[in-house]
Amino acid sequence: MSARASDSAGRRPAEPRRWRDADLTPLHLGAKLDPGEDPTYRELRDAQLDRVQRVLSTCRGESYLMWLRLDAAADLLVQHGCDTDPTAAVDTAEATRLLEPRTQLAAALATALSISRFRADTLLDQGEAMRHRIPECGLLLRDGLLEPRAFGRLVFETDGVTDAALLAEIDQRIADAIRASGQVAPHAAASQARSIVALIDAEGARTDREQAKDDVGVTVFSRRGGMATLEITDSAETVVAEEATIDALAAGVCPNDPRSRRQRRADAAAAHFGARAFTCQCDRDDCTAWIPAPVTGAGAQLVVHVITDGSTLEGGDSRAISAATAPSMPRRSATSPRARTPGSAR
């Protein structure tokens, strides 16, 4: 080892070694059970149970350590004078000023922890929520009943509640529901929170949906290897419809197409947005693919079937709709009248 490396090692903080050398036996994280060279069934089972217990114990430990981290973040907000009314509306312009104390604190945290400014802001937001907005749910994190991602989802689902009394009731109801059901996954915790918020603060839920419309947009992230990610944020109804269109296009290939389902969906999405054509890539003469033409907003067509008297269609009927009655009716040249006998309508 060189003198420089030895010097660097000497200056390295001792904190990692204290974690490494700590006695974790009371937390079921002591020495591993060794089943030996030729273990019996019981010894092998005990060793497997030991590994499962270690996984569960470290998961609970992560939750408790996150609780400590968020608690420290909440303390930092108080010490820097950034502690605010938990139900007050956020002034976005003020919160993003360069010299605003919270902005400076987030920048300092990002530098100290080598994380992005967004993650630093999230840490402060969750610490403030745990201290002031949903403290009962914060205790679930402390007790290992919530993993850090699940607590983040609860913060997100309750963010639109501005009435302090309703927020306290929602916090208690969510905590009681999760404690009754035991440890839950992030999506299950979010679903329970969403249902309780809609039940107790229906007006707040509607307001939150209206405010969420400001998040509509398209974001592009660059990735390694010349790849990129396109992220679209829109109403759930619109996204579901777009996904159904993409899935229908991707499902049109024959069984011999070599692409994975993810790859077919990506190619179908590119075709849906007009970037390239979508075809089956089996390269077989007996290909049975049936791929519908992708329909974009510019190329979409609306077909309206109108059943009326022939005199109305020819313009000689006084009962016909006039321009004064329907000023916004679209004028299209692509109309194709067809005569039908009264008994032919289906």
Specify the amino acid at residue 213: K
Q: For position 336, what pLDDT does the model report?
A: 52
> Could you tell me the pTM of the whole model?
0.60
Task: Provide φ and ψ at 221, rounded to 5°.
Answer: -115, 130
Q: Return the pLDDT at 328.
A: 47
Vertex 293 angle, CA 287 and 296, to 5°: 150
For 68-104, how does the pLDDT look when each residue is reduced to its tens digit (9 = 90+)?
A: 999 999 999 998 887 665 555 555 454 455 567 888 8
Q: Given this model, what pLDDT does residue 327 score?
A: 45
The pLDDT assigned to 3 comes to: 47
Series of mean pLDDT values for 10-residue runs along the chain (346 residues): 47 64 78 79 86 88 94 92 61 54 90 91 94 95 93 92 91 94 87 91 73 80 86 85 88 92 91 83 90 58 62 59 48 50 46
CA 53, 54, 56, 60 dihedral sign is positive
Contact (CB, 8 A) for 114 and 108: no
Strand-pairing partners, residue 332, are none
* Phi, psi of 323, deg, nearest 5: -65, -30
Residues 245, 239 contacting (CB under 8 angstroms): no
**Three-state secondary structure readout of the chain:** CCHHHHHHHHHCCCHHHHHHHCCCHHHCCCCCCCCCCCCCHHHHHHHHHHHHHHHHHHHHHHHHHHHHHHHHHHHHHHHCCCCCCCCCCCCHHHHCCCCCHHHHHHHHHHHHHCCCHHHHHHHHHHHHHHHHHCHHHHHHHHCCCCCHHHHHHHHHHCCCCCCHHHHHHHHHHHHHHHHHHCCCCHHHHHHHHHHHHHHHCHHHHHHHHHHHHHHCEEEEEECHHHCEEEEEECCHHHHHHHHHHHHHHHCCCCCCCCCCHHHHHHHHHHHHCCCCCCCCCCCCCCCCCCCCCCCCCCCCCCCCCCCCCHHHHHCCCCCCCCCCCCCCCCCCCCCCCCCCCHHHCC
Determine the Cα–Cα distance for residues 206 and 332; give it in Å rounded to an integer: 38
